[in-house]
């Protein structure tokens, strides 16, 4: 076959250009540290690389969320620890106020310290994080959660709870609302006297609380009423009945003497008057919730009131101490929840970090350059290029004039 000089030149030139492209490609592999410069270099590997890159990016974001969550949980825990210390001190002062040796001066001093504790708690309940957001106001992070209207402290946040995504399928709560921690606190369970000749007082709060929780009917208030029916005879007797006049199970009966105590599930019931009259009535009072600030305020008022009868002061003290115990229980429950969330976060982060390392290795094995192989390939490409140069040089000299 006869080959023209132009064809020889063109073929030789193409060989040089192809070799140059190969050298350039090998150089790019080394410079970018990428095995796959375009999808054409390996469609399947490129797809795997993109998937792994997406997973790695998501994991990085989840780990950042985990750091934010950890900071939020730590800040809230520190705040609640301070809150708990203040409540415990308030409880000590509440118990101390019941000493019979306390006079007006001592009670005024106790009230002053309790007021300082109240201010301290108010600050804790309105805590702000580093970016100025209120941590206990739910979604209303720019609104102060607790305000004082001149008589009571009121919550003005909402019930919003944020969650942060710390893995592909795990969300962890990052905040607690003041309403749930500080306002969702039961005041002392009490009774209401519904007729004139009956007086009820709680003598065993624990027993009464248990009875109240088991028997209080929020749907039908009539079911919370009880009758004390006295019957004349020798001796006189009494029986405690339900609101329909039926005997309780088991029956609550005994001998009746006007003014004597009848104990009923932690309640001291006193009925006065001759036996045989109409039944006297009392009821389980509806449970009431309030925050610790208002409970402190009520007790401070009782402490500073020098005219308050001893019985009312004792009732106020009992209200306060039980309210404080219930408040501490709410704070403790929240601290326990924070600890559980922290443990979950740590577990998820450890798993995410391990998966991130695996994904990084997998992506590197698929998409990154093996330097030894890449250098060897570059050397081969350079050798081919030099050969192309040499061939071109010889072809360019294929003329009879060069041999004459």
Q: Give residue-wise pLDDT tens across range 277-301.
A: 999 999 999 999 999 999 999 999 9
DSSP letter at 129? -
From residue 193, alpha-carbon distances to 29, 227, 269, 270 in Å are 90, 11, 10, 11
Whole-angstrom Cα distance, residue 208 to residue 157?
A: 34
Under the banding of pLDDT at 50, 70 and 90, the label for residue 43 is confident
Q: Model confidence over 124-171: pLDDT tens digits?
A: 999 999 899 999 999 999 999 999 999 999 999 999 999 999 998 999
Whole-angstrom Cα distance, residue 296 to residue 111?
A: 9
Which pTM value belongs to this model? Answer: 0.80
Closest CA relative to residue 349, chosen from 58, 155, 59: 59
Does residue 400 surpass a pLDDT of 70?
Answer: no
From residue 385, alpha-carbon distances to 20, 21, 183, 379, 391 in Å are 6, 9, 81, 10, 10
Does residue 306 surpass a pLDDT of 90?
Answer: no
- 259 with 243: CB under 8 angstroms? no
Q: What is the pLDDT, as a whole number, of residue 23?
A: 84
Q: What is the pLDDT, as a whole number, of residue 401?
A: 55
DSSP assignments along 196-209, one per residue: TTEEEEES-HHHHH
Q: What is the pLDDT, as a whole number, of residue 402?
A: 59
What is the number of residues in the chain?
404
- 29 with 35: CB under 8 angstroms? yes
Provide the greatest CA pair distance for the chain.
158
How many C-beta atoms surround the C-beta of residue 249 within 10 A? Answer: 7
Q: What is the pLDDT, as a whole number, of residue 398?
A: 62
């Amino acid at each position: 076959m006869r080959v023209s000089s132009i064809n020889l030149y063109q073929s030789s030139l193409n060989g040089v250009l192809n070799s140059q492209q190969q050298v350039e490609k090998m150089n790019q592999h080394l410079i970018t540290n990428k095995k796959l410069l375009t999808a054409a270099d390996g469609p399947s590997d490129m797809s795997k690389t993109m998937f792994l890159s997406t997973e790695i990016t998501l994991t990085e974001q989840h780990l950042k969320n985990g750091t934010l969550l950890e900071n939020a949980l730590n800040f809230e825990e520190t705040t609640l620890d301070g809150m708990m210390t203040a409540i415990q001190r308030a409880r000590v002062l509440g118990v101390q106020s019941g000493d019979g040796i306390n006079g007006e001066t001592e009670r005024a001093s106790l009230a002053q310290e309790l007021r300082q504790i109240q201010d301290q708690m108010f600050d804790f309940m309105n805590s702000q994080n580093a970016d100025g957001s209120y941590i206990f106001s739910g979604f209303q992070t720019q609104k102060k959660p607790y305000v004082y209207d001149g008589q009571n402290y009121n919550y003005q946040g909402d019930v919003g709870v944020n969650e942060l995504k710390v893995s592909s399928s795990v969300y962890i709560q990052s905040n607690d609302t003041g309403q749930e921690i500080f306002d969702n606190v039961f005041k002392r369970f009490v009774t209401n006297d519904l007729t004139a000749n009956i007086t009820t007082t709680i003598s065993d709060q624990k027993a009464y609380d248990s009875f109240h929780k088991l028997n209080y009917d929020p749907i039908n208030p009539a079911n919370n009423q009880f009758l004390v029916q006295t019957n004349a005879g020798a001796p006189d007797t009494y029986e405690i009945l339900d609101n329909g006049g039926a005997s309780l199970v088991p029956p609550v009966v005994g001998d009746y003497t006007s003014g004597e105590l009848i104990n009923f599930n932690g309640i001291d019931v006193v009925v006065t008057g001759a036996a045989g009259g109409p039944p006297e009535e009392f009821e389980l009072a509806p449970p009431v919730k309030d925050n610790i600030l208002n409970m402190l305020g009520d007790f401070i008022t009782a402490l500073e009131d020098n005219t308050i009868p001893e019985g009312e002061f004792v009732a106020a003290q009992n209200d306060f101490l039980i309210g404080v115990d219930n408040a501490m229980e709410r704070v403790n429950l929240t601290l326990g929840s924070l600890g559980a969330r922290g443990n979950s976060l740590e577990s998820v982060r450890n798993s995410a970090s391990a998966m991130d390392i695996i994904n990084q290795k997998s992506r590197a094995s698929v998409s990154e350059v093996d330097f030894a192989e890449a250098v060897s390939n570059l050397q081969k490409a350079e050798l081919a290029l030099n050969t192309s140069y040499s061939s071109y040089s010889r072809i360019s000299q294929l003329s009879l004039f060069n041999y004459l």
